[in-house]
C-alpha cells in the first residue's frame, strides 16, 4: 500500500495503527475487521501498517524567540 523505504521498518505491530481497524469512541480498544474488538496493543497476522494512523512519540520542536527590535523598520 505504501512505499516502505520512506517509513521506519522497525515499527512494533499494534492494532492501534493497522489499516484493518478503527479506534473505538472510548479510545481504549480497536474495532478490527478481522478479529472484532481488540486491545490497542494487540496484533495478528493480518497486520497492515498504515502510517497515517500512527502518532509519533516525539515532542514538537521549540520555536525560537525573536526580539521585537528585529521587526521594526
Write the pLDDT tens digit of every residue in 34-49. Answer: 999 999 889 899 989 8
pLDDT score of 55 more than 70:
yes
Q: Is 40 in contact with 16 (CB distance < 8 Å)?
A: yes
Which of left, alpha, beta for 69 (phi over 0: left; psi -120 to 50: alpha)?
A: alpha
Query: What pTM value is reported for the model?
Result: 0.60
Domain residue extents for the chain: 13-53
In Å, what is the CA distance from 18 to each residue of 2, 3, 38, 41, 66?
A: 13, 16, 12, 11, 42
Amino acid at each position: 500500500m505504501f512505499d516502505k523505504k520512506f517509513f521506519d521498518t522497525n515499527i512494533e505491530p499494534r492494532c492501534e495503527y493497522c489499516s484493518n481497524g478503527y479506534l473505538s469512541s472510548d479510545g481504549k480498544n480497536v474495532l478490527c475487521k478481522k478479529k472484532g474488538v481488540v486491545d490497542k496493543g494487540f496484533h495478528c497476522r493480518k497486520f497492515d501498517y498504515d502510517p497515517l494512523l500512527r502518532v509519533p512519540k516525539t515532542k514538537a520542536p521549540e520555536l525560537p524567540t525573536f526580539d521585537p527590535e528585529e521587526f521594526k523598520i
